[in-house]
């Protein structure tokens, strides 16, 4: 079984190299980044991000994760733990916090523990993202039809409400069911509600 992806964000080459060597010694590959901005320019999948607690890096990354809902667990580290910094990072949603350097097997255990805790959350985030993507495929008119379907309107009532013919409603309904990979109208409504579509 492959290990969860790990990224290391640190402006110090020596720190990055040391962490990457330690992770490699326990069979983990890590991608190095000099700063949060460089990391944010990449692609995102489930992963653990080890970030050096310097400047606003930890807060910036944790706030970004909260806003975007990406499947990422942020683990800050520092050369010397400061209780105030640890508390602030945990308050913002950090998965853990450690002092570096440390033994490679201890670091490996921290990552395994974070994966175990975050796995259900990642699955939930990915499911939400998937249904949002399905709903985002719809045209504005298809979203209007879907909203009416969610209210229990018949095709005739939807047509009257949107000033279109019942036949046109059926065409829109068929298109949105196909785009949403829904088996029927109730399934489409369930997906829409899970995606957070506003029903007006």
Q: What is the pLDDT of residues 56-66, one digit of tens each?
A: 999 999 999 88
Mean pLDDT of 24-50: 92
Q: Let me know: does 135 contact 191? Beta carbons within 8 Å.
A: yes
Spatial CB neighbours of 193, under 8 Å, sequence gap ≥ 6: 150, 199
Per residue in 90-117, pLDDT (tens digit) is 999 999 999 999 999 999 999 999 999 9
Question: Can you list the positions of beta strands (E) in the chain?
Answer: 5-9, 30-33, 47-52, 72-78, 98-99
Looking at residues 127-146, what average pLDDT do you find? 88
> Is residue 1's pLDDT more than 60?
no
pLDDT at residue number 199: 64
pLDDT for the residue 70:
84
d(CA 9, CA 42): 13
Residues 6+ apart with CB under 8 A from 122: 46, 71
pTM check: above 0.75: no
What integer pLDDT is reported at residue 2 of this predicted model? 61
47 phi, psi to nearest 5 deg: -165, 165
Say whether pLDDT at 159 is over 90: yes
Residue 44 has pLDDT above 80, yes or no: no
Is the pLDDT reported for residue 180 higher than 60? yes
Q: Set out the domains of the chain in order of their start, with CATH numbers.
A: 5-127 (3.40.50.2300), 137-194 (1.10.10.10)
Task: Report the percentage of the chain scoring pLDDT > 90.
Answer: 75
Pairing of strands 72-78, 98-99: parallel
194, pLDDT greater than 90: no
**pLDDT at res. 128:** 80
């Amino acid at each position: 079984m492959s290990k969860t992806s790990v990224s290391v964000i640190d402006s110090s080459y020596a720190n990055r190299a040391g962490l990457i060597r330690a992770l490699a010694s326990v069979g983990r590959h890590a991608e190095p980044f000099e700063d949060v901005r460089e990391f944010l320019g990449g692609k995102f999948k489930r992963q653990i991000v080890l970030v050096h607690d310097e400047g606003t890096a930890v807060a910036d990354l944790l706030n970004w994760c909260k806003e975007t809902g990406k499947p990422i667990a942020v683990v800050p580290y520092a050369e010397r733990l400061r209780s105030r910094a640890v508390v602030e990072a945990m308050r913002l949603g950090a998965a853990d916090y450690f002092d570096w350097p440390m033994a490679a097997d201890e670091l490996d255990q921290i990552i395994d523990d974070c994966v175990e805790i975050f796995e259900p959350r990642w699955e939930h985030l990915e499911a939400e993202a998937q249904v949002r993507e399905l709903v985002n495929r719809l045209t504005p008119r298809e979203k209007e039809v879907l909203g009416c379907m969610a209210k229990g309107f018949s095709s005739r009532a939807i047509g009257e409400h949107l000033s279109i013919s019942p036949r046109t409603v059926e065409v829109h309904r068929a298109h949105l069911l196909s785009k949403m990979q829904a088996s029927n109208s109730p399934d489409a409504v369930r997906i829409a509600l899970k995606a957070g579509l506003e029903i007006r």
